[in-house]
Amino acid sequence: MRHPVEAVLLAALALVPRETLGEASTDEGVALFERAEFDEAEAAFERVLADGRASVDDLARVHLYLAALRMMEDDEGRAASHAAAAAALAPGQTAPPGSPQRLGELLAEAASELPPSGMTLALEAPDCARPGETLSVRGSVAGAPRGL
């Protein structure tokens, strides 16, 4: 068990907005993108991905904007990967305003390659388990694009 002071400190840190701790938010990245501060926007989006606490909706937006940035860099391969992730996480995505037209086509292509049921997760576990017992399970994801 953690020391009570340590637990209080961790609880207090959880209440501090992410931006205060030097972490990026999706909204910050979008604002930077809209101001054409593309290097800073990219860094903000990469921090959101690295953080690991973003919601599915935020991850979809991050991948969408990273796809737009990659298209602006003429890196269609990486743009397609981000477009596929955005489409898988939140079907129906549309390209951000000011994005190259080709990004809309990549999103449509990615959406057409998803299975009709979307992404699915299957877990296999033993039939019986005892309370407190550590289990080994196998999981598989269907319909997820590479890299997601």
Closest CA to 139 of 119, 121, 117: 121
pLDDT tens sequence across 29-45: 999 999 999 999 999 99
| 147 band by pLDDT with thresholds 50, 70 and 90 | low
CB neighbour class for 79 (10 Å; exposed up to 12, middle 13-18, buried from 19):
buried
Summarised one tens digit per residue, pLDDT across range 75-102 is 999 999 999 999 988 888 899 988 999 9
**pLDDT confidence of residue 146:** 57
Q: What average pLDDT score do residues 96-114 get?
A: 90
Query: What's phi and psi for 120, nearest 5 deg?
Result: -130, 150
How far apart CA 80 and CA 64 sit, in angstroms, is: 10
86 touches 60 (CB < 8 A): yes
User: What does the alpha-carbon distance between residue 45 and residue 51 come to, in Å, rounded to a whole number?
Assistant: 10
Q: Give the distance, in angstroms, between the CA of residue 77 and the centroid of all CA atoms in the same chain.
A: 18
pLDDT digits (tens, 9 = 90+) for 3-59: 443 444 344 444 444 443 345 699 999 999 999 999 999 999 999 999 888 899 999
